[in-house]
A and B are shown apart, each in its own frame.
Chain A
Amino acid sequence: MAAVESLPPGTPSAMRNAFGTVLSALILVLIGVLAFSIRLFSVIKYESVIHEFDPYFNYRVTQFLSKNGIYEFWNWFDDRTWYPLGRVIGGTVYPGLTLTAGTIWWVLNSINIPLSVETVCVFTAPVFSAFASWATYLLTKEVKGSGAGLAAAALLAMVPSYISRSVAGSYDNEAVAIFALIFTFYLYIKTLNTGSLFYATLNAIAYFYMVCSWGGYTFIINLIPMHVLLCIVTGRYSPRLYIAYAPLVVLGTLLAALVPVVGFNAVLTSEHFASFLVFIIIHVVALVYYIKGILTPKMFKVAVTLVVSIGLVVCLIVVAVLVALVASSPTGGWSGRSLSLLDPTYASKYIPIIASVSEHQPPTWPSYFMDINVLAFLVPAGIIACFSPLSDASSFVVLYIVMSVYFSGVMVRLMLVLAPAACIMSGIALSQAFDVFTGSIKYQLSSKSKDNAEDNTSTKNAPKDDASSGKTDKGEEVSKERSSKKGKKKEREPAEKLSVKSKIVKKKALVLPLEASIVALLLLIMLGAFYVIHCVWAAAEAYSAPSIVLTSQSHDGLHVFDDFRESYAWLSHNTDVDDKVASWWDYGYQTTAMANRTVIVDNNTWNNTHIATVGTAMSSPEKAAWEIFNSLDVKYVLVVFGGVIGYPSDDINKFLWMVRIGGGEFPHIKEADYLRDGQYRIDSEATPTMLNCLMYKLCYYRFVETDGKGYDRVRRTEIGKKYFKLTHFEEVFTSHHWMVRIYKLKPQKNRIRGRVKKLKQKTSSGVSSKSVKKNPWM
């Protein structure tokens, strides 16, 4: 636009330019409103509550932060979870989200807007989605001009994949992290285009914010080095590249090491090594270019052999050190999740706790249609548009989409990282297509009118100018990259204008037939309309359920199942404040946040042995389970049961994972014992081990009283064992729809009698005491 700005004000094109700026600002505001409001379905359809599991933990941490201040938060040792171990919260969470929401709450309160912490938490994600779509605008603008930027921002504002993680109430790390991710990429591209150290510093700070927010920052610290390497290898090295990369690595790594949960991992784990390796390479390359600049070509040839050999030696030494470091750690320095990205079959083989999570499964093709919808069709066109012409910035977004689409193929969860890339690519494709089609229509309409009135030159000029405006932008973008200094650019301007003129003359021919363009335009608009319909539907129906309150629509109206909050409230009102509650880890965060009771395991699955212990207890017969729980001071056991109302993600359906995880640590639990001919069943064909395990008993105790037959509506069978009594547990609470059942451990029996009984049992059954460890705590 520099070429246009230099025109005196008041000319038509300056007016058009100003009008365009105001219009894009207005559109951006509307996009922000759209991004915010499309995420409010959950509040309208349900209520303003925190969703799901992890957000409850984040909410609890934010509450603590707002009550006790940042220093207390930093040193917080939480004894309400992972009993008896506890957890150092300050050192093990990514504090970005909590600090962000805490700051927002503090600012609002200090300007006398008294919102509750919960309200702030609920609306953090929608607000940051608006920020994220603005960041997308900036990023795409750097790559392909503001038209593509606006299209990409509008697409991102309602992409279902991102909505799924950022509806109001889903107060999780990804809510702010996606914004941080896009913004970091924007600043990287901005630095790359301008070569300004100011942006490079901002980039490092944005990276710091990303590290604070989400473990996914490793994606950035691997993608950017890859791009740098790609630029070097394809001969695109420039000082701007150096300025974009070197400060990021040095400052970024130093800042990342400040975050307690990352700490020295920032220099010690393999995820970060790629950046250091590329850091060395870029220095070697910079040196080569420098020497090339000061030497004659002949001297350079001599020097290059010298420098290359020295560089090689240095590289080899560093590689050897890295290999030695990697080899010295058991997993090769890679965390399990990252490893399962490189070797997709890794997790399913070795780490059941990662494989068990549904968001770590590989997606099928409908997932792509659900999560990025019609963008899946447009992305290839965007990739091709980025190659014509290929610039540093556009090669970066191509690399971004390629890496993220591959990773999303391994883990459905990473679809979230793919979504911004897909939006950028589709935005570029859409904007290019609109450019071409509307350009052809305008050109042909104007050429028709030209035939009618040949003397009117102004009408002829305007459309031509417009049709090429997309091209001029791009040409300018390219020139921006080539020369970072403004002075140089001004010298160039006249030449550039000339080239633009010649382009216009050439462009006359680059048009499509009128009627075909109109049809294509209509079809594209229909495609966009379908996207909007899909996104609104997905936001309203698929992704807005808080999963803490369930609803079902039946012929006699809406049913609300509020059993979870009912039972957490029961716990907090009817149990002692220091009682320990055992449940499967999914419900750990909710129990601590809503019932304020100590739990044994929670959703932060850092201690596999502890989880395996609970899994073992759930899969053991009553007595053994009682012993395990008693040794952990557990007073209450909570199970989630969906058999009455047909809630499929209940504990019986998760049970096989408890067995697997338990069996992984305590080998006397064998998955085969719970399966009849490889099939998991709970009806009369079920194995005796299954029918006698604690989970079965706690779920199906008195179940037959509900309908007289014991028909499980999730498994769609009658249960195998209907009438039984509990010996070591007593039922204390069952929620309205039987979704949550809470049992109390019966007090220990008289010791002598117990011992006699034990002896008797031993002699009568004749089972020799096995040396296998039954209870890990005894």
Chain B
Amino acid sequence: MTMAINKKLLSLVLLVSSLSSIASASFSDPDSDSDLTNELVSLRSNSESGVIHLDDHGISKFLISSPTPRPYSILVFFDATQLHSKTELRLQELRREFGLVSATFLANNNGSDLNKLFFCEIEFSRSQSSFQRFGVNALPHIRLVTASTAKLSDESGQMDQSDFARLAESMAEFVEQRTKLTVGPIQRPPFLSKAQISVIVAMIVIATPFVIKRILRGETLLHDHRLWLSGAIFIYFFSVAGTMHNIIRKMPMFLQDRNDPNKLVFFYQGSGMQLGAEGFAVGFLYTVVGLLLAFVTNVLVRVRNLNVQRLVMLVALVVSSWAVKQVVYLDNWKTGYGIHPYWPSSWQ
């Protein structure tokens, strides 16, 4: 996947020209240092969850022209609005998690440590030259510029794939490891805010008498057998399709063929893993046979016309045997098991 993004971004960025070498003053001036820190603090207090939005100007001001060692480290999140549509990059999700780490850092630190690390983001369309300076040509990319980092193209501060695999928690670990600052346990906002919860509880309390009244009269949706039936069949389909596996493992619906990017892979060989579309296809095959059988034994027997019965049964039988055959074939192909009967040895 990253390969494709690489190419895309390369074409956008064109060639990275030679990096402008930055001559930084070798002495540090305490006054300007504290000025810069104060400015960052004020920027931070104005931004949501403490993530400062920097542009080319800000980068040159806080990172390039400031002398090393700086009194602060900066963790930069590289964002590109035009790539938000590519869900496999998870840019927006990562950006949210980045904000969480920042908010947690702000909440858990006070005093001197608070001003040693700033969380910033830069956006590609508005700060292309900064992307070039950092040498970033693939996203997602998060880079820590420590107090002593002199050259921005120095990639040692880059966060690995594995460091944001577990989202905010692993990002925080990375930060703690590199900066020796504590971020603390990530404080995720609760799924529902307190106001929402109280509203819901109030609504439930108000609704209960009415619901009970209707239940006593026996005229709710719950008394509709068809609803229960379709619910049961749906859950069955949902489970045998291995959807929980897809949710827990976050499997994609299909993959791109490695050899031929235009070809899509819908079926994955090997029993430990499955793709989303594959699961649904087989789940459908599992379910359709039973549904047809039930249709024949419950509905079709009531039909009077013999020829209609013959036709429908023919279709049902053909579809069912095709579905069973497909599943058997797919299973043998996927797992590689050779299921065979045992005949008496004299028969062979």
Contacts and interface: CB of A to CB of B under 8 A. Distances in A.
Interface of A: 233-235, 288, 304, 308-309, 312, 344-345, 348-349, 362-370, 374, 376-385, 387-388, 390, 398, 401-402, 405-406, 408-410, 429, 432-433, 435-436, 440, 509-513, 515-516, 519-520, 523, 527, 530, 533-534, 536-538, 540, 542, 672, 675, 677-678
B313 A365 contact: no
Contacts of B340: 533, 537
B297 A433 contact: yes
B162 A678 contact: yes
B249 interface: yes
Contacts of B125: none
A348 B245 CA distance: 12
A523 B283 CA distance: 21
Given A345-B248, A406-B238, 19 more contacts: A234-B222, A344-B244, A344-B247, A362-B249, A364-B242, A365-B242, A377-B286, A377-B290, A379-B290, A381-B291, A381-B293, A384-B290, A384-B294, A405-B240, A406-B244, A409-B244, A533-B341, A675-B162, A678-B162
Nearest to A507: B301
Contacts of B161: 678
A374 B272 CA distance: 20
Interface in B209-241: 209, 212, 215-216, 218, 220, 222-223, 225, 228-229, 231-233, 235-236, 238-241
Contacts of A408: 239
B208 interface: yes
B331 A366 contact: yes
Contact of B335 (A288, A370, A387, A402): A370
Interface string B35-63: 00000000000000000000000000000
Given A370-B335, A513-B313, A540 B236 contact: no
Contacts of A409: 238-240, 242-245
23 contacts: A304-B216, A345-B247, A368-B242, A377-B327, A378-B293, A380-B233, A380-B291, A383-B233, A384-B229, A398-B232, A402-B231, A405-B239, A405-B240, A409-B244, A409-B245, A435-B297, A436-B301, A512-B301, A516-B310, A516-B314, A537-B340, A672-B162, A678-B161
Given A308-B212, A367-B271, A436-B301, A378 B321 contact: no
Contacts of B240: 365, 368, 376, 405, 409
A364 B218 contact: no
A364 B239 contact: no
B300 interface: yes
Interface string B315-348: 0010011011001100100110101111000000
B290 A390 contact: no
Which 7 pairs from chain A and chain B are nearest by CB?
A380-B290, A384-B294, A409-B239, A409-B244, A377-B289, A362-B245, A364-B274
A522 B199 CA distance: 60
B137 interface: no
B335 to A, nearest CB: 5
B13 interface: no
B235 A402 contact: yes
A348 B309 contact: no
Contacts of A675: 162
A284 to B, nearest CB: 10
Interface of B: 160-162, 166, 208-209, 212, 215-216, 218, 220, 222-223, 225, 228-229, 231-233, 235-236, 238-245, 247-249, 271-274, 278-279, 282-283, 286-287, 289-291, 293-294, 296-298, 300-302, 304, 306, 309-310, 313-314, 317, 320-321, 323-324, 327-328, 331, 334-335, 337, 339-342
A381 B282 contact: no
Given A527-B324, A678-B161, A510 B301 contact: yes
A527 B293 CA distance: 13
A362 B242 contact: yes
A235 B274 CA distance: 42
B296 A520 contact: yes
A569 B246 CA distance: 45
A381 B339 contact: no
B232 A534 contact: no
A151 B347 CA distance: 30
Main secondary structure of the interface of B (DSSP, over half): helix
Nearest to A380: B290
Contact of B302 (A368, A377, A406, A510): A510
Nearest to B292: A381
Q: Which of A366, A385, A516, A520 has the most CB of B within 10 A?
A: A366
A436 B236 contact: no
B232 to A, nearest CB: 5
A379 B341 contact: no
B290 A382 contact: yes
A383 B228 CA distance: 10
Contact of A365 (B274, B317, B337): B274
Contact of A364 (B220, B272, B309): B272
B328 to A, nearest CB: 8
B223 to A, nearest CB: 6
A402 B272 contact: no
A241 to B, nearest CB: 15
A519 B222 CA distance: 39
A381 B271 contact: no
A377 B244 contact: no
A227 to B, nearest CB: 13
B88 to A, nearest CB: 17
Contacts of A527: 324
B223 A516 contact: no
A363 B222 contact: no
Nearest to B283: A365
Contact of B341 (A429, A435, A536): A536
Given A365-B242, A388-B298, A516 B293 contact: no
B99 to A, nearest CB: 20
Given A380-B233, A675-B162, A523 B320 contact: yes
B243 A381 contact: no
Contacts of B274: 364-366
A469 B164 CA distance: 65
Contacts of A516: 309-310, 313-314, 317
Contacts of B225: 387, 390
Given A308-B212, A402-B236, A540 B342 contact: yes
B106 to A, nearest CB: 24
Contacts of B286: 365, 368, 376-377
Nearest to B240: A368
A384 B287 CA distance: 12
A520 B247 CA distance: 38
Nearest to B226: A387
Given A234-B222, A523-B320, A362 B248 contact: yes
Contacts of B291: 380-381, 384
A406 B235 contact: yes
Contacts of B208: 312
B296 A380 contact: no
A381 B320 CA distance: 12
B188 to A, nearest CB: 12
A364 B301 contact: no
A512 B316 CA distance: 13
Given A398-B232, A537-B340, A523 B317 contact: yes
Contacts of A344: 244, 247-248
B175 to A, nearest CB: 14
B196 to A, nearest CB: 17
B293 A401 contact: no
Given A365-B274, A516-B309, A519-B317, A235 B209 contact: no
B222 A364 contact: no
A385 B290 CA distance: 10
B236 to A, nearest CB: 5
A369 B331 contact: yes
